[in-house]
Homo-oligomer: A and B are copies of this chain.
Amino acid sequence: MKKYKVGMIGLGTVGTGVFKTIQEFEDIEIVKIVVKNINKKRDIENFDSTLMTTDPNEVINNPEIDIVVEVIGGVEPAWEYISKSIENGKHIVTANKELLAKKGEELFKLAEKNNKVVLYEAAIAGGIPLIMPMKTIMAGNKISKIRGILNGTTNYILTKMDVDGASYDEVLKEAQELGYAETDPTGDVEGFDAMYKITTLSTIAFNKRVKLQNVYREGITKVRAEDMKKANELGYKIKLIASGNLDENGKADVRVHPMLVKKTSALAHIDYVTNSVYLKGFPMGEVAFTGPGAGEFPTASSVVGDIINIVAELKHSDYILPMMRNNYEEYADMIDISETYNKYYISITAPNNIGVIGKIGNVCAERNISLSTILQKGLSEDNTADITIITELCKEADIQSAIKELSECKIDSIIRVEE
């Protein structure tokens, strides 16, 4: 039996999972693994440590390697290793969402030029089968809407804040201790990770390249325990939602920010580190995919799935997988966040002047902002009023202008509300 040779770059959590899983496949062999530290103890039984090297050239320039698996993340040196590997005739499997979002266009052009394939099922929603289904069996669809919970760390934090009534800072600390959040959590909690993923996901869905700089991003660091509580009282949960819409004129609106989602919606029930992606398309209608967004084995499932699909094709032809092209002829025409229409949850601390509700009402009315909910709680000790409003659909720019005009009020939170 011919063995197809795999070289790995990285042997962290995901890499270890890939290594263990691939042992089951008689026709696939890992021949070399690039690591930073050759002396680090690896959690693999009977591990042949001579497979490891600190020299990337032993993979990149290794003529016997058919497929390079990159699981180190980040743009550099991953880009250097991947691009050289492609030029050296290797197919690529990567879990690198940041690289895809920042260098996707260049990457896929290079791959096509070299008649090689770059697969990345593991880069978005970890263990959930999503990219390959979108590119194969769903390929007859025009997808117009994406809603996803794509980052397990932030979903864990928001779920714990909700369940325990705890503050963001408390839960973050706990999540760090449990290993669900990194020491520097910025990439997750400020929404960068989800932004990278929705950039690539919306590019595939809309069949036009979405540029990272046009994707709006807000993280979860400003979400307060009080907002969680109020949202609950009003029938909502707060989730970090990655979304994409393609309107009838072909304009795309792609973003990541916290949202109030109705408790009756499916995404409201996606808790802790679970990920979920909802897609609306024609002719398929509405479908949802739910599962583990990260973890050693779920992510390995996707990486190995990509590898065995490449191997299956290589067995009969040197051609790239027919449906796996990622070169889009056009860039998506994007809508700026200021031009979008949303519903808003706004929590306001107002001075106890007679007429403050009236002023809020007037400021909104002047901008055609209708309010669907107004809640005022009894005065606090400092003689201020705690006012919560939820608006009907209105323009982002109008909301920003209204808030500017309410200068005597303290705006504690503004969070968009899913329709």
Contacts and interface: CB of A to CB of B under 8 A. Distances in A.
Interface string A392-414: 00000000000000000000000
A291 to B, nearest CB: 3
Interface in A290-304: 290-292, 295-298, 300-302, 304
Nearest to A310: B322
A315 B319 CA distance: 11
Nearest to A311: B322
Residue among A25, A129, A309 having the largest count of chain B Cβ atoms under 10 Å: A129
Interface stretch (A136-144, A187-195, A235-243): A136-144
Interface string A248-286: 000000000000000000100100000000000111111
Interface string A184-212: 00000000000000000000000000000
Contact of A285 (B139, B140, B292): B292
B309 A139 contact: yes
A234 interface: no
A378 to B, nearest CB: 35
A269 to B, nearest CB: 7
Nearest to A299: B283
A49 B284 CA distance: 26
Contact of A323 (B286, B288, B309): B309
Interface string A296-336: 11101110111111001101110100110000000000000
A219 interface: no
Contact of A127 (B129, B285, B291, B304): B285
A289 B289 contact: yes
Contact of A302 (B131, B137, B291, B304): B137
A133 interface: yes
A304 B140 contact: yes
A303 to B, nearest CB: 9
A338 B298 CA distance: 35
Interface of A: 17, 20-21, 24-25, 121, 127-129, 131-133, 136-141, 266, 269, 281-292, 295-298, 300-302, 304-309, 312-313, 315-317, 319, 322-323
29 contacts: A21-B140, A121-B137, A129-B137, A132-B133, A136-B305, A136-B309, A137-B305, A138-B305, A139-B308, A281-B301, A283-B297, A283-B300, A284-B292, A284-B301, A285-B291, A285-B295, A285-B297, A285-B301, A286-B291, A286-B292, A287-B290, A287-B291, A289-B289, A309-B323, A312-B323, A315-B322, A316-B317, A316-B319, A317-B319
Given A266-B290, A289-B289, A312-B323, 20 more contacts: A25-B140, A129-B284, A131-B137, A132-B136, A132-B137, A136-B305, A137-B309, A139-B308, A140-B305, A283-B297, A283-B304, A284-B292, A285-B291, A285-B292, A285-B298, A285-B301, A287-B289, A287-B291, A288-B291, A289-B290
